[in-house]
Structure 1
Amino acid sequence: MYQRTLRAAVTAALAAAALAVAGPVTPAHAAGTTLVVNAAAPYRPVTHVASGGLYALAENNRPADSTLLPIAMNTLTQPAPGVGQKPNGQPPGGDSLLVAPQADRVGAAEFIRMPDIYPDFPYKWVSWTDWLSKVDTMVKKRLAATSVSNIAGWELWNEPDGTWNTASAGDFNAGWVRTYQEVRSLDSLTPIVGPSLSSWKASYMQSFLSYARDRGALPDVVSWHEWNAANIASEVAAYRAMESSLGISPRRISINEYAWTNEVDVPGRVSSYIAKFERAGVESADRAFWYEYGTVNGLVTNNQPTGSWWLYKWYGDMAGNMVTTTPADQTGLDGCASFDPTRKIADVAFGNASGTNSVRVSGLSALGQTVRVHLESTPASGRFTAVTAPTDISTATYNVTNGTITVTVPNMDANSAYHLVVEPVSGVPAYQHRYEAENASVFRAQRLTGGTASAGGYVGRIDNTGDPRTDSYVDFIVNVPTARTYTMTIGYANGTGATSTQGLAYDGSAWHTVSYPPTAGWGQFGSTVATTVDLHAGYNAIRLAKGAPYFSGGTGYAELDYIQLD
C-alpha cells in the first residue's frame, strides 16, 4: 500500500477504508514498565528479519551501498521488470532487474511485485489477454537475466482485497490460479508469493488458501501487510492455526509492508514492530512505502542516515542468536535482543515508551561478576533530517547478581529508540572476528542447528544446479578496521568421504577455490580450513558458493559453521 499524496490517500476509497480499519492504535506509552531480556534463552539465529523495504532501492545505486551494508538488509520488494508504476507521481523506478546488482552487493534478496507493471494504483485492469502477455514478458526478462541470482519470489498481485477488479477480471481466487499457472508454465523454480492482503483478514485468507490448495496453486511464501504491531503475534498464530486446520504444510511468512504513515519514521514505534516480527517467527518483513523510493523508505536522506537508520544499524550489528524478550504488554515498551556467545555481548534495541522505564537482563553469568553497560538513543528526525550519530546517554559498570542486572532508562521519549549493550569489562575484541554462517545472507540453502556448531547453528544443503534460480551460496557482510590481508578460517563439516570444493569471492574479486577435506560426518563440527582475503577498511561482502553467477560450480558438499577473520 502507498499513496500518491497524503490527501489523495485519505480521499481515495481504498485508502480511506484501510485507514479506518487498519490504522495503528496509539499505545499508552506508560512509564514505570520493565522489558525483560533473557540472554540465556536463544530462540532463533540472528537473520535481521525486519531489515527490508518496499521500493527501497532505485536505479543508479540509490541509496549508496555505504548506507545499506551496515543495516544488514534481508529482503526487498521491488517493481516488476519494465516497471510502469508511478509511485506518488514520481517517474517509474526501482526495476527489480536493474537494481539487482546493488541488492546482490549488499546481500539482499528480492521479491518481484508483478502488478507494478501497470502505471496506476489502485491498478487499472485491462484484460486477461493484456495481463497474461505482461506476465509472460516479465518472466522471460527475468529468465534472460542469467547473472541475477538473488530473486526470492514472484509476488503475483498486491492487495487483491482492494485492487482486484472482480467485475472485469472475475473472482480473485480463480485469477490467482490462472496467473500462478501462467508463471509456472515458464518458471517452475522461483518461489511464488501471495496473496499480499492489505491487512490480516481471516475469512479472505481461508477462502484463498482452500481454493489454491485444491488446485495445486498454493504460494510458497504467504504474505500480508501489518499496520498494528500489537496484533502481530495473534495474527501470525491465527495463520499457523488456519494452515494446520487446512492440512497445508508450513509456509514461510513475509510481511511485505509494515508501519503506517505516522509510524514508519518513528524509531520508537518501529522498534516494537521489529521485536514482534522476531518473536512471531516470520521470515521477512519490509518497511512500507509511503513517500520517496530509493531511500529505504526514509532511512536515508542524501546518502546520510536519518534517526531511524540508527535503529536498523543497531539491529544490523546483532550477531549470534536472538534471545527472549518479554514486554509488559503488546502496546508499550518493547524491543528485540541478541547474544553473541563468541564475544559475550548482549545487545538490546528497544523503545515505544515515555518516562522512566527499565530493562532487566538475565542470563549473564558467563560475563563475570561485573559488566560494562552502554546506553544510547536515536530520535525521530523525520525523512529529511540527517542524524550523524546516536546520542550517548551513559556508560557504567554494573554488578551482576544471580546472572542479572537491571538498567534504569530515564526520561524516555516514546518516539525515540534506545540501544543497550552489555559486555564483559575486559577481553572484548576491538572488532567482530567471527561471523556465524546462520547469521549471513543464505540463498537456497538451509539454516540448521547442531550441538557442536558454533553458537548452535550452521548452514547446510548447499547445492549447485547450474541455474541462478536454484544455485546455493552464503554471503557474509563483514566489517574490519583496516585495509590489509586477513587470514580467514572457515569452520565446516564434510561427510562425503572425499574433498569437496566451493567458490570464494569478495568485493567483486575473481573467484578462488576453497577445498574442504573430509571430516567425521555431517553436522559434526570442529574442523577448519584457512585462506586469505584482501579486504578494505569498513564493510566487505564475502561469498562462499557451491554455485553462483560467473562461477562454474563447486564439487561435493560442505556445511558451513562460521568464518573468522584474524
Structure 2
Amino acid sequence: MTPHTRLRFARLIRLVRRSAAPVLAIAAVVALTPLPAAPANAADATVTVDLSRRGRVPTRAGAGFLYGLSQNGSGPADGLLQPLRPTLFRGGGARIAGHGWIGDGYTAGPGYQVRLTSALDQARRVTAAPYGAAYHLLVSDVWGADTEQPASTVYPCDNGDCANWRTFIGRLVADVRASGVPVRYDIWNEPEGTSFWPRGVNSAQYFQMWDTAVNEIRRLDPAAVVVGPSFGGYNRTWINDFLARTKADGTLPNVLNWHFSGDPVADAADARSLLSANGIPAMPLTMDEYLFSQQQNPGYLAWYLGRLAQSDISAAAHAIWSDCCVAGTLDSVLTSDQRPTGQWWVYQAYAQMTGNLVATTNANGVAVAAAADQGQGRVIALLGNQAGQTGTTTVAVSGLSSAPWLVVNGTVRVKVERIPHQSPLSAPFVVSEGDVAVTGDAVAVPVTHASGTDAYTITLTPGGGTPGAGTVTVDGNTTGSGDLQFQYGPNWGLTTGVPDMYAGTANWSHTAGATATFRFTGTQVALRAVRDVDQGRMTVSVDGDAAQTVDDYSPSRDASGVVWTSAVLSSGSHTLTIVNTGQRNSQSGGVNIALDRADVSRQAAPPPTVVTVDGNTTGSGDLQFQYGPNWGLTTGVPDMYAGTANWSYTAGATATFRFTGTRVALRAVRDRDQQIIALSVDGGPETTVDDYSPTRDASGVVWTSPILPSGAHTLRVRLTGVRNAASSGDNAALDSVDVTR
C-alpha cells in the first residue's frame, strides 16, 4: 500500500513464496517476483483461442484499485471509471493528516473521523449503482498503521491488553452501521512486516488482535464480511498456519485474501487445497494488491489480467506505488490531469470481454485471454506478455463453426490494436483491420510486438458478406443488442414461413409508436421492407439524426425490395431506428409495417501501417533523423532498438526527424540521470517530456503526437537543460520512432 519503494523492498526480503518456513534473505525477492518465462526477443510463438470450448461468464477479477479514488470518492469522473467496470476498491484513509485513532491519542477524534469519512465517501459511491463493487475497509489504516505511525506506538494487545483495540473496533463498526454503507472489514494490512505490524507474523499477539477484532465485529454485526489475512505475498506456510489457528479459534475470515501472487492461477489452486486440507468449506479468494512497480505497463498488465481471468480469484486490486493516497488517478492508470494511460486502455479492453470465456493456450511468456459474446456480436482477445516478448506471436483462432454468427460468406472481420506503454494515450493504435478468409474452421492472426511493454487486442466481428462487395445482409429476425442485430420494442410480432421474404421471416407491427433498432458497423445501410396495399408509413433515422418518413404503400406487393438507403456514413458503429407512425397513405388499407432485412456496406479502408525507424537512421530525407551539434552515438546497447543510442547532455541541442504519415511516437530512455526534453511538430508549440524515472526503460514510448494531416511532417527534439529534482543528470538519449502511415 505504501508508495515508498524502500518499504516495498524491505517487505520483499521478508517474504518467501510457497516456502516451508519464512526465510529472511535477499533470495526471497527472487522467489516472490515473477520470473520471465522466456527471454526478450524470444522465438516466434503461437497461442490459441478455441471458440468451441466455452467457459464461465467473466468475473472481471483484476478490475479493482487500491487507494485509486480522491479523498471524498468523487474522482475520477464516471466517464473514466465506468468504462473499466470495476469490481473492487480498497481504502481506509491512509496518509490523510491526523494519523487516525493513534493520532487522536487512541480515541475517536478528528484524525479518526477524517479517515473514516474518506473511506465511507468512497464506498458510498462505488458500492451503489451503476458500479455495485465491493469495498474493503482497511481497518488498520483507520487505526493509523500506515507506516507513518510513531516508534512509540502501542499496538493492539501489547502486553496482553486488548481493551483499547476492542473499543476502537466497537466504535468503527457502530459508525459504519450508522452510515448505512456496505463495506467488508480488511482487518490488518500485511501483518508480516515491521512497516505495518512489528509484532511478528502469526504470533500469539497477532492472533489476539485478530480474534478480538473478528469477535467484536461479528458481535455487533453478525452479517459482517471479514477479509484476511492480507499477507504481503502468497506464502503457503503462513496461510496454512493462519487457517488452522483461526479455524480452531472460530474466527475464520469470510474472504481469504493475500497480495502479489507470482501466478494467480497456481496460487489460487494451492489456496483451495489448503482450505480443503484444513477441512474448511470453500470461500471467496481475493488479492487486494497486484503488480510491482516495474510490472505496471500494458504488456505485463494484460498478461496478469489474463491469468486472473483464468484463476479462482474472484477480485483483485491494482497496487499503488505512487500518488498515495487520495490523488484519484487509480495509481497512475490516469495521469495527474485525468487522462488515460496505456494501462487504462488495457482495463477498458478487459471490461469489454463479455459473454463467456473461451479456452486459450499460452506460449513463450505470451498469454491470451478471450471471450465470445453473440449478443454483442464480437469476440475480444487480450494479448499480453510476461517476458518482454518482441517477436511475432500468431493468435490461432479455431472453432469458428461453433460461432456461425461471426462467419459471413466465409470471412470474419479481424481488427488488431496496439496499446503502447504511454502516458497519456488518447487511443490504441489500429495495426490492421479487414476481412479474413476462414480456412479449416480457423483464422490465424499474426501480431508483431513493437515493444515488450505493449499489449494488443484482437477483435473479431462478422465478416464483410459477399467477397469483394463489402456488403453484409442481415435478416430482420437476427435479434440482440450487438453489432448487426435488430432489437424490437413492444407491439412487434414475428411471422415465419413467408416464401417471398429473406429467410422466410417477417417482423411486423400495426401499432403507432412501435420502435425497432438495428445496430451495425459500416458506412451505409439499406433497409428492405414489405411494400403492399395494406402497409403504412414509418420513420427512419441514423444515430439520432432527423427522421425521414418512408411510405410502404404499393398497389402491388414487393416483399423484399429496398425501401430506404442511408447517406454514406463515417466508418464505425451506428444505430438505425425505425418507428411505426400509425399513419398511412390515403389509398392504403392498413398501417402495417413489415421488415425483411438490412444490407450493410462495410467499406474496407486500407489499414494504417506502423513503421519503426532507428534513431541512428540519419540524413535529410523522409524517415530520417538529423542531429545538430553536441550529439553522440553509442552502439551495442542491448536494451535499445538496433542497439544504438543517440545522446546529448547539452542544453539547446536539437534533433529533427522527417516523416510522411499521420502520427509519430518517440521512444527514448527513461532513467535516473535523464533530463526534460521539448518536442514540437511542424514548428508548432512545444510539449515538454520528463525522461527521469527511478527505474530504467530504454525503449518505451515517451510521447505520441496527435493525429496529423496525411503528408510530410517534421518532429523536433530540443534539450531544455532542465531536469527533475530527483534526476542525477542532464542526459537525453533517443531510441527510435514509430510512424503511422
Kindly provide the amino acid, as one letter, of the partner of residue 431 in structure 2: I
1:252 counterpart (272, 284, 287): 284
Give the match's secondary structure for 2:308: helix
1:171 to 1:285, Cα distance in 2 relative to 1, 3 A: same
- Which residue of structure 2 lines up, in the alignment, with residue 362 of structure 1? 398
Query: 5 Å matches for 1:85-96?
Result: 95-96=118-119
User: Which structure has the bigger radius of gyration?
Assistant: 2
Preserved CA contact (<8 Å) 1:359 1:407: yes
1:409 deviates by: 0.7
1:204 counterpart (238, 246, 255): 238
1:261 counterpart (293, 296, 304): 293
Query: 5 Å matches for 1:197-236?
Result: 197-228=231-262, 231-236=263-268
1:14 counterpart (8, 11, 14): 11
Q: Distance in 1 between matches of 2:239 and 2:117?
A: 29
Preserved CA contact (<8 Å) 1:81 1:141: no
Kindly provide the amino acid, as one letter, of the partner of residue 56 in structure 2: R
Q: Distance in 2 between matches of 1:84 and 1:363?
A: 57
1:8 deviates by: 5.4
Which whole-Å deviations, capped at 9, do the CAs of 1:70-127 have from their partners, x for residues lacking one?
Answer: 111111112169976979xxx9698220112331344122111110114443465434
Kindly provide the amino acid, as one letter, of the partner of residue 372 in structure 2: F
1:317 counterpart (352, 359, 370): 352
Give the match's secondary structure for 1:44: coil
Give the match's secondary structure for 2:50: strand
1:164 deviates by: 2.8
2:155 counterpart (126, 133, 141): 126
Give the match's secondary structure for 1:319: coil
The runs of 5 or more residues in structure 1 that have no matched partner are 436-480, 485-566
Q: Distance in 2 between matches of 1:132 and 1:372?
A: 61
Preserved CA contact (<8 Å) 2:94 2:144: no
The total of aligned residue pairs comes to: 422
1:85 to 1:306, Cα distance in 2 relative to 1, 3 A: farther
2:139 counterpart (110, 114, 117): 114
1:363 to 1:343, Cα distance in 2 relative to 1, 3 A: farther
Q: Distance in 2 between matches of 1:235 and 1:203?
A: 13
1:93 to 1:211, Cα distance in 2 relative to 1, 3 A: closer
1:372 counterpart (381, 402, 413): 413
Query: 5 Å matches for 1:340-359?
Result: 340-352=373-385, 353-359=389-395
Preserved CA contact (<8 Å) 2:62 2:305: yes
- Which residue of structure 1 lines up, in the alignment, with residue 435 of structure 2? 397
Q: Distance in 2 between matches of 1:144 and 1:130?
A: 21
Q: Distance in 2 between matches of 1:130 and 1:39?
A: 57
Q: Distance in 2 between matches of 1:418 and 1:111?
A: 31
Q: Distance in 1 between matches of 2:120 and 2:94?
A: 6
Q: Distance in 2 between matches of 1:309 and 1:172?
A: 38
Q: Distance in 1 between matches of 2:413 and 2:248?
A: 57
1:105 to 1:303, Cα distance in 2 relative to 1, 3 A: farther
Q: Distance in 1 between matches of 2:279 and 2:382?
A: 37
Higher RCO by CA contacts (8 Å cutoff, separation 6 or greater): 1
Give the match's secondary structure for 2:253: coil
> What TM-score, normalized to structure 1?
0.69
1:143 to 1:373, Cα distance in 2 relative to 1, 3 A: same
1:63 counterpart (76, 85, 96): 76
1:132 to 1:409, Cα distance in 2 relative to 1, 3 A: same
Which whole-Å deviations, capped at 9, do the CAs of 1:457-486 have from their partners, x for residues lacking one?
Answer: xxxxxxxxxxxxxxxxxxxxxxxx9689xx
Preserved CA contact (<8 Å) 2:264 2:313: no
Preserved CA contact (<8 Å) 1:58 1:93: no
Q: Distance in 2 between matches of 1:86 and 1:166?
A: 20
Q: Percent identity?
A: 27
1:335 to 1:402, Cα distance in 2 relative to 1, 3 A: same
Query: 5 Å matches for 1:152-171?
Result: 153-162=184-193, 163-166=196-199, 170-171=204-205
Does residue 1:47 correspond to 2:59, yes or no? yes
1:9 to 1:217, Cα distance in 2 relative to 1, 3 A: closer
Kindly provide the amino acid, as one letter, of the partner of residue 23 in structure 1: T
- Which residue of structure 2 lines up, in the alignment, with residue 444 of structure 1? none
Q: Which has the higher helix share?
A: 1
Query: 5 Å matches for 1:186-205?
Result: 186-205=220-239
Kindly provide the amino acid, as one letter, of the partner of residue 39 in structure 1: L
Q: Distance in 2 between matches of 1:373 and 1:109?
A: 35
Larger mean Cα displacement after TM superposition, 75-84 or 105-114 = 75-84
Preserved CA contact (<8 Å) 1:44 1:321: yes
1:215 to 1:345, Cα distance in 2 relative to 1, 3 A: same
1:85 to 1:173, Cα distance in 2 relative to 1, 3 A: farther
Preserved CA contact (<8 Å) 1:54 1:287: yes
Query: 5 Å matches for 1:458-469?
Result: none
Query: 5 Å matches for 1:140-151?
Result: 140-146=174-180, 148-149=181-182, 151=183
Which whole-Å deviations, capped at 9, do the CAs of 1:128-184 have from their partners, x for residues lacking one?
Answer: 3332222222211110112x34x3x21111111223333798432343222110111
> What TM-score, normalized to structure 2?
0.53
1:411 to 1:193, Cα distance in 2 relative to 1, 3 A: closer
